[in-house]
Structure 1
Amino acid sequence: MDEQKRLRTLKDYQILDTPQDQYLDELTHIASAICDTKIALISLVARDRQWFKSVQGLKVKETSRESSFCQYAIPEPYKTLVVNDSMLDDRFKENPLVTGDPNIRFYAGAPLTTPDGDVLGTLCVLDDKPQALSPTKEKALGILAKKAMKYMADQKLLNEQRKHIKNSAEKLKKLTNKAPGIIFQFEMDAAGNSYFPFISEGVKELHPTINSEDLKNSINPVFELIYEEDLDYVKKKIEEAFLQKSMMDFAYRVKGDDDRIIWHQCKTSDPEILKNGVCIWYGVIYDITIEKEYKALLKQILFDISHVIRRPVSTMLGLTDLIESENLDEETLRTYAESFKVISKELDDFTRELNQSYRDKSPYHEGN
């Protein structure tokens, strides 16, 4: 038996010094009743002590390992240790638990064996009178020990899963809080009550004046920041998504500093619908102001090209038609050439001015 491995396994179960457990208490109570003993324990053998996870008939919660009976069950993982009369056993007749309180004379301990064969302790019964343990009772004690071990193994697995879920949740929270924009869970019921059970830290960047805790009760703090001209539109889109049980995808304006127009885009998945009619959407809100400004800039460029450049281009095309349709002398050609030169310079000057103007205005320009 590898004692260091066994101790590591015991530590991994995280059961030492934990609160009383009703299920395990019921097992020790049954064991005491079946074997007709005053004492029944679930004893876990640590490095220097034995600690009782469940206790029937004793006031103490632990003793030294040196005085424990259970330590002798560790080398044999699949065999119940039975001591019919401790006064006749050289291992125990001088034991302080035999010569003094609680005056143990009878002991039977079924090992608590892990799937890997490590013995964490025993489910044991004890009495102050010598007695024998029938094969039926010994088998019953072994069954109860296996049930206790399975329960502790299940609890270990649950604890590991809870820890994994907690760690995963913390990682997810960190990721969502670092993600650009807002990641949210939004709910709405049939009465029209709507709120955000979860909203990421991005809300502080997009809406610095909002207390995210307030959003857990109502969406109204967000409504208060939306342009009045867009508010009815936003409410209508949310109501439609609720009635149609559909996703959301809409843009709207919010109030920024210095009267600057800020555009936000809201996108969600299709809703999850609960039995009580509540709809749950998971989605994002992000700032699309730059995209909006860029599209407006492109529209202005197209307008300028269409209205400003069209005139000199039309003039040049007219001159070209004249040249092709007439027999021109040298002086006339020289005049037309001068006109081409003037028009070309006008186009060049306009193009340079246009380029500089939109470089300054562009939301993607490095200077901005």
Structure 2
Amino acid sequence: MENTFIGVNLIPDNEDERLNKLKEYEILDTPEEGAFNHIAAMATHMFKVPIALVSLVDADRVWFKANIGMGSIKSVPRGESLCSLAVLNEEPTIFQDAVTEPCLLANPLVTGNFGLRFYAGAPLVTSDGLNIGTFCLVDKEPREFTESDQKTLANLASIVMDEIELRYLRRKVNNEGSAD
């Protein structure tokens, strides 16, 4: 994996455990689902941003379970996605003006045609404390993001993770019921 983040190791110490948990959810490459899209759409209105994503950080890519504002894009390389940085942290990762961040100076989403300027991503944390992805906001304009905004974003990420857990439990119950 090519890493475009200057001075940042994108692989957390618990990478194998994190990836195993992500695969256990069986959510990668699944069709769009209303709840995730509704939360993302709500966030674009709440924060007045053009893009909100539910992203899952796989071994070599970041895949979007919900994508409001980025068209038909389903995934981006892990070494380019700012969500790869956000899963390294327990708290939201905020770049109010990405072009001023030294670690982003070689990132093609920031320096290239896409023109990413603002990013706010809260980790999607499993019940056993693993960060499998993010709920994030993106804009092509720099913006302020208050502590209150960060708390709201973290709460939305918790709702997304609750939905992922419910989806997993429903599937597990249905599979056990069909085995009888």
One fold, TM greater than 0.5? Answer: yes
Matched, 1:72 2:85: yes
| Residue 35 of structure 2 corresponds to residue 23 of structure 1 | yes
Which residue pairs with 2:117 in the alignment? 105
Distance (whole Å) between structure 1 residues aligned to residue 43 and residue 31 of structure 2: 20
* Structure 2 unaligned residues grouped into runs of 5+: 1-12
RMSD: 1.0
Q: Say whether 1:45 aligns with 2:57.
A: yes
Q: How many Å separate the matches in 1 of 2:107 and 2:126?
A: 28
- Say whether 1:4 aligns with 2:3: no
Distance in 2 (CA, whole Å) between partners of 1:101 and 1:156 is 37
> Which one scores higher on RCO, CA 8 angstroms, separation ≥ 6?
2
Alignment of 1:200-349 (within 5 A): none
Local SS of the residue matching 1:75:
coil
CA distance in 1, matches of 2:81, 2:128: 23
SS of residue in 1 equivalent to 2:110:
helix
Q: Which of residues 159, 164, 170 in structure 1 aligns to 2:171?
A: 159
Q: Kindly name which structure, 1 or 2, has the bigger radius of gyration based on alpha carbons.
A: 1
Match of 1:118 among 130, 148, 164: 130
Opposite residue 54 of structure 2, the aligned amino acid is: I
Deviation per CA, 1:210-235: give whole Å up to 9, x if none. Answer: xxxxxxxxxxxxxxxxxxxxxxxxxx
Q: TM-score, normalised by structure 2?
A: 0.89
Number of corresponding residues:
167
CA drift of 1:31 comes to 1.3
Shift of residue 93 of structure 1?
Answer: 2.2
Instruction: Choose from 26, 32, 46 the match for 2:44.
Output: 32
> 5+ residue gaps in structure 1?
169-368
Question: Is 2:93 the partner of 1:85?
Answer: no
1: CA distance, partners of 2:168 / 2:154: 21
SS of match in other structure, 2:70: coil
Q: Identity of paired residues, percent?
A: 35
Task: Give the letter for the 2:98 counterpart.
Answer: S
Shift of residue 52 of structure 1?
0.3
Letter in 2 for 1:70: C
Equivalent residue of 2:102, what SS?
coil
Q: After TM superposition, where is structure 1 displaced by more than 6 Å over at least 4 residues in a row?
A: none
